[in-house]
Amino acid sequence: MNTIKFKIQSYDEASNSVIISFSSDETVSNDPGDYEGFAFQPISEYPDITDMEELKKKIAEQGIALAEMNKKYEDAKANTAMQNKWKALVGQTFEYNVSDILQPNNEVFFTNEINVPPTE
């Protein structure tokens, strides 16, 4: 990715939120308005930054991951081979023992936490 582009769709005064959508030079559309918007609260996220150019760069930095997500979605939507593999599984039931899925050193305790084994 070489460029990130964003569009401020709206501003909500009650929450001081801006709804922003993102595109990049790798997404199908270069128009960020063609993509889903996400809520940001720049006033509370960056209370000490008053320079608008610096704030816009902070938003663009956060948008890199969102534009990459848009690109991955587009790639998945175009991957008919993988779609056909999933369609072939319709109606089937699968079962696994939890011990076969989770490795002891990587057991997940909370949805946002993973136990990473120490590096040697």
- CA distance readout (Å), 94 to 66, 69, 86, 98, 108: 32, 28, 13, 13, 21
The one-letter amino acid code at 58 reads K
Q: What is the pTM of this model?
A: 0.70
pLDDT tens-digit map of 4-45: 999 999 999 999 999 999 999 999 999 999 999 999 999 999
pLDDT at 116: 61
SS3 60: helix
The sign of the torsion formed by the CA atoms of 74, 33, 8, 19 equals negative
